[in-house]
Structure 1
């Protein structure tokens, strides 16, 4: 390229359409075919529309329907401020014309024109605001550039865009014979080659700026795009895609709240399936056997607590755990488990229980030396025997209260060593076979087994797989004080171990009505709200800071419609699934392939 001669700078501040076209030829496509009603830009087509008519009154974000149009549409707004002196003079002439029309109609006995009357009143009010310095006038040009791959698609897109503009009372006209100037006016060149301007005041212009959108914000210029995440659904407002990465947030925890029948289990199953495809290891606590067929279909492992021969020993020490206080941690968990089974223990019984646990470990030959942790761990009945051996009233009382769990009706879950060690990318812990009295302790045992796997090794590395723990119907555990404490501890500690906790419940009161439940919500960077019951919407709106409109949306939401909340980001979506995902989520795995 030959060197250009240095020229003196010009004083022109507004580039001409010819200069803009020349710049576009340098940085634009290799070839442009100019026709009266469209441009051919390389392998695509483009056509520019000029907004020529505006509504009398506009509301906030009145350009949002055009900004959210589901296609490639460039919206360009050219703003040129008017000096107050020129604005006042033009308003004076405009008011004079309007007043002249009003007087002419009155002299000739005509009925008053409502359009002229409204325009005169608006002009008088605007002139007063400008005179007081409360507002300013601007010359504004609004242009729309529609892109498509074929001419037929371009015609269809133009018709759709014009209909969308008409829905907000915007009149549009094609830039016939000026398509090149229209295209360059929508490029980021700051040059208006059409010059079709309209006067606007500060309020109308401020409400036109694209400060609100129904979609999630795109990455800022210079920031890398999303490399992970999964499809949550489609935005019913803009038809845009809601793509979310829980692992890119402050933590990977989530909360899913919905009334019965709102589609929360369907959405969570989709989340599980897509997490597995992303390489995440998932553990699900399933109280109602909703995930068993899904687990079996993809080759996961199901552990049915309460079934014949299935036992979990809460005193087991993981062989891979090499922390010097691992035995102490197991003793502390047994305190929590017995508190869930029997309720809050008095201090005398807590002291007796602590001594009995240590005695049971000592009798089994397990000390604080990690080399002894491979020996057979004591059972719950060994702890009861150690309680009886103490010979105190508190120990005897506690041993008697433990009788149903050691030798009575509830002993099957604890009466022997652990039979099943969870392994695999998807593990489903079913608690359907447990009695109601065992449901809370069973969920706590499952969570403890999952946590032991998550917590080993204590310091995760880049090769440690990400883990997602799904607790369905979490109200069963939240109604127990110690169970809620354990769940809140998981919510706080999961992030440091490349893990995330997903809490799912339909009993909003148990989650929102306690301080520990609110801690779980506060430590969940991803919050999903589906349809809510009218009795619970007030407390949900208060805790999540919902607007009146958002609360109404949740009251009338259809099955599968949800609101995603994460910090300042809020977006509605409709959960969507592929045909195979739908079959897996509904459990109908026998459908023929051609159905």
Structure 2
């Protein structure tokens, strides 16, 4: 028999941001923001649990706490834009349609009027033919209840784990264009879906439109686990040395991969009346205990319950928990039963599928109708135990902007702001990065992705590398790639001034530092008179260039100026050889002059506008052990970045040092690294150091004292190879035990069939999350450090005329299986 829902609708009206039932029950609703899954430690879960218990305790007698978590299968929708870049577009296409489990959570607080008759499976509104409103709301009752709700909200907000936003009348009742929370539950609608009326069938199971529903309950003490707590171990991410924690009921939340709603009820009655009733029950069982062992066991259990309630000041409540799962494929119902059964088994609970009483329980789940819940389907417990069964987790949340990574569970893209928002909210005090991971852990791939993302956001990127990890990306972006080979040795021109650039104090100081480094050995000191003489030479040289614009600025013309004109200046000024030995100066610098062994080094005529070039890579593999070239090259790189740092006001810039830091430190450049890390923050800059050498990490005072201490953001990739050394590593890096547990879970249970690496991002020791980095095929080819793949990419680039076209063709062939 069909009944119009309006006739048996138990809700009377929505007003003053509250739902009023036909029986006079008042319900206020909040949208809750829960902690992100896999981000809490064991101590966090315990604190979170205690906060929930404290919040519910402030609710008045005859009130109900109803928590409703929606988990719906969704697909990621990429926002395709006209001006997107080649790699960003490939990433959008790669992730578009990625399935994941969406989550939203609501808290409903219900206050029943005094004298409200308790509902049961036999006395439920859904069994009636019509409902007539019987009571009006008492204003004093409403005011007192709002005071309690305010305290409830404040306790949770102060805990730092949950934030609440009270729903408006439109969000509760809905509009013509937007379904309210009541509609969403009744018709199983997503938050963004349009309102749709569906037929609801309750005979032979629950069916909403085309969706076949099944209801699984935890309502009988016999089905509950023997022990419960705020957390359990998650074996997938645990190791022999660490135990990874998840919430006790997390297996019924995001870890249950199907469309479902998790309903959690706590009914707060009159505690004294409840205890009196249990005392009578104990006495009755006492008198019957001689006739049955079961009665004796029940008597002892009731006695223990009463003793704990009085001695520990526990709040006795009634509770119920259920999972409403649905699918549009009737053939998948058995699979859902298996999934829910397995999830409950992980809690050591017995899965019970509700059949006869399912319509009454489902109907009571309607927001605002919790007072109509059949009390025969509840069990007596304490609030502390009931709170263990609350789902504690939510999806990863995405920042407004940042770098795209993937959330850990399904890989759906999320934007992670590593620099701006954390600085504003005080999570970090600088933007510096420290990246560490074992060989093959994905460091170079991740850094390529981060540098490309920063470049597309307008950042100036300078990278010092040993190993050729960034050549593909540099070629694709059309940046400057400096590498030393015998056929094409590395070339610079520190004397060249770009259009609009002037010889300021900073430029002069960098040139003086370069010339003194070329002239003097590392352990030699220079006199003040020598410093002044070189400073004068630079000033006069640029004045001569201004008078003779046909002269090209470079080291050769500077050397010519010294020999032809500055010698005369020194002679006329009667400068003594002991004050400045220009003969020795010219002799030592002669190898860098025309015809000398290193005449190519400082006389470049191409790639001159390095100040305004936004992507520059210096590949130092072939010169890292050269006693002459390496110090000069590193000096020029440092001069370049400092120039960018100080002159490009308002623009972000990053210096990434990948594995080259060891050679730089050995070449006397340790002081530069210290200076860089301490000052780059003031110029909207980022210093990033990338390494895999854990022994060097542990033993290097530069790393320990400067880089780690002044890098508030740490990206740590797979380091399981160093598990036996991890305690030392943890001490050096100042990692908390929580960070250690998270770090050692990286890549432990990766999703089969997907090519990705996980990484831990630790910001200021306060925010720690593990993300995926999963490149599209095009991104993988652009970033790959495998020699055979790099060669193939280069061949396709030459064949099709550009890196972009070559990668596009090769990626398509790989996807189609031609390769």
Q: Shared fold (TM-score greater than 0.5)? A: yes
Render the CA deviation track for 1:511-547: whole Å, top value 9, x for unaligned. Answer: 5643665544455454211233246522432312243
Task: State yes or no: 1:304 paired with 2:483.
Answer: yes
Task: State yes or no: 1:40 paired with 2:40.
Answer: no
Task: State yes or no: 1:529 paired with 2:721.
Answer: no
Task: Give the whole-Å Cα distance in 2 for the aligned partners of 1:577 and 1:534.
Answer: 27
Q: 1:353 to 1:57 in 2, by over 3 A?
A: farther
Q: 1:273 to 1:354 in 2, by over 3 A?
A: same
SS in 2 for 1:479: helix
Higher mean C-alpha deviation, range 260-269 or range 352-361: 352-361
User: What displacement does 1:430 show?
Assistant: 1.3
Question: Any conservation in 2 of the 1:232–1:573 contact (CA below 8 Å)?
Answer: yes
Task: Give the whole-Å Cα distance in 1 for the aligned partners of 2:300 and 2:587.
Answer: 84
What's 2:251 paired with?
A: 65
Gaps of 5+ in 2: 1-12, 26-110, 114-118, 134-171, 184-194, 232-246, 424-429, 751-755, 797-809
Task: Give the whole-Å Cα distance in 1 for the aligned partners of 2:634 and 2:277.
Answer: 75
Higher mean C-alpha deviation, range 146-155 or range 135-144: 146-155
Higher mean C-alpha deviation, range 49-58 or range 244-253: 244-253
Task: Give the whole-Å Cα distance in 2 for the aligned partners of 1:535 and 1:350.
Answer: 52
Higher mean C-alpha deviation, range 244-253 or range 529-538: 244-253
Question: Any conservation in 1 of the 2:340–2:351 contact (CA below 8 Å)?
Answer: no
SS in 1 for 2:648: coil
Task: State yes or no: 1:562 paired with 2:759.
Answer: yes
SS in 1 for 2:344: helix
Task: State yes or no: 1:81 paired with 2:268.
Answer: yes
Task: State yes or no: 1:287 paired with 2:485.
Answer: no
Q: Please show how residues 165-176 of structure 1 align to structure 2 within 5 Å.
A: 165-176=344-355
Q: 1:71 to 1:300 in 2, by over 3 A?
A: farther
Question: Any conservation in 1 of the 2:592–2:600 contact (CA below 8 Å)?
Answer: no
Task: State yes or no: 1:235 paired with 2:405.
Answer: no
SS in 2 for 1:295: helix
What's 2:218 paired with?
A: 51
Question: Any conservation in 2 of the 1:269–1:291 contact (CA below 8 Å)?
Answer: yes
Q: Please show how residues 104-115 of structure 1 align to structure 2 within 5 Å.
A: none
Q: 1:85 to 1:469 in 2, by over 3 A?
A: same
What's 1:222 paired with?
A: none
Render the CA deviation track for 1:304-330: whole Å, top value 9, x for unaligned. Answer: 146534322445555544595333552
What's 1:434 paired with?
A: 623
Task: Give the whole-Å Cα distance in 2 for the aligned partners of 1:518 and 1:319.
Answer: 40
User: What displacement does 1:31 show?
Assistant: 1.4
Question: Any conservation in 1 of the 2:761–2:771 contact (CA below 8 Å)?
Answer: yes
Identify which of 716, 720, 730 aligns with 1:541: 730
Q: 1:306 to 1:93 in 2, by over 3 A?
A: farther
Task: Give the whole-Å Cα distance in 1 for the aligned partners of 2:635 and 2:363.
Answer: 64
What's 1:244 paired with?
A: 416
Q: 1:334 to 1:77 in 2, by over 3 A?
A: farther
Task: Give the whole-Å Cα distance in 1 for the aligned partners of 2:287 and 2:206.
Answer: 42
Task: Give the whole-Å Cα distance in 1 for the aligned partners of 2:506 and 2:379.
Answer: 75
Render the CA deviation track for 1:5-35: whole Å, top value 9, x for unaligned. Answer: x99997643398759x998798314413222
SS in 1 for 2:745: helix
Task: Give the whole-Å Cα distance in 1 for the aligned partners of 2:512 and 2:552.
Answer: 20
| TM-score of the pair, normalised by structure 1 | 0.74
What's 2:92 paired with?
A: none
Task: State yes or no: 1:163 paired with 2:163.
Answer: no
Task: State yes or no: 1:573 paired with 2:573.
Answer: no
Question: Any conservation in 2 of the 1:229–1:243 contact (CA below 8 Å)?
Answer: yes
Higher mean C-alpha deviation, range 150-159 or range 266-275: 150-159
SS in 1 for 2:440: coil
Task: Give the whole-Å Cα distance in 2 for the aligned partners of 1:361 and 1:323.
Answer: 9
Alpha-carbon RMSD across the aligned residues, in angstroms, is 5.1
Render the CA deviation track for 1:391-417: whole Å, top value 9, x for unaligned. Answer: 349979996997698589984574435
Task: Give the whole-Å Cα distance in 2 for the aligned partners of 1:179 and 1:32.
Answer: 19
Identify which of 532, 557, 562 aligns with 1:355: 532
Question: Any conservation in 2 of the 1:317–1:326 contact (CA below 8 Å)?
Answer: no
Q: 1:319 to 1:489 in 2, by over 3 A?
A: farther
Task: Give the whole-Å Cα distance in 1 for the aligned partners of 2:358 and 2:196.
Answer: 17
Question: Any conservation in 2 of the 1:361–1:378 contact (CA below 8 Å)?
Answer: no
Task: Give the whole-Å Cα distance in 1 for the aligned partners of 2:212 and 2:614.
Answer: 48
Identify which of 456, 460, 476 aligns with 2:647: 456
Question: Any conservation in 2 of the 1:233–1:241 contact (CA below 8 Å)?
Answer: yes
What's 1:204 paired with?
A: 385
Task: Give the whole-Å Cα distance in 2 for the aligned partners of 1:211 and 1:337.
Answer: 60
Higher mean C-alpha deviation, range 382-391 or range 539-548: 382-391
Question: Any conservation in 1 of the 2:718–2:743 contact (CA below 8 Å)?
Answer: no
Question: Any conservation in 2 of the 1:444–1:477 contact (CA below 8 Å)?
Answer: no
What number of residue pairs does the alignment pair up? 562
What's 1:31 paired with?
A: 197
Task: State yes or no: 1:550 paired with 2:742.
Answer: yes
Task: Give the whole-Å Cα distance in 2 for the aligned partners of 1:525 and 1:338.
Answer: 36
SS in 1 for 2:542: coil
Task: Give the whole-Å Cα distance in 1 for the aligned partners of 2:321 and 2:543.
Answer: 79
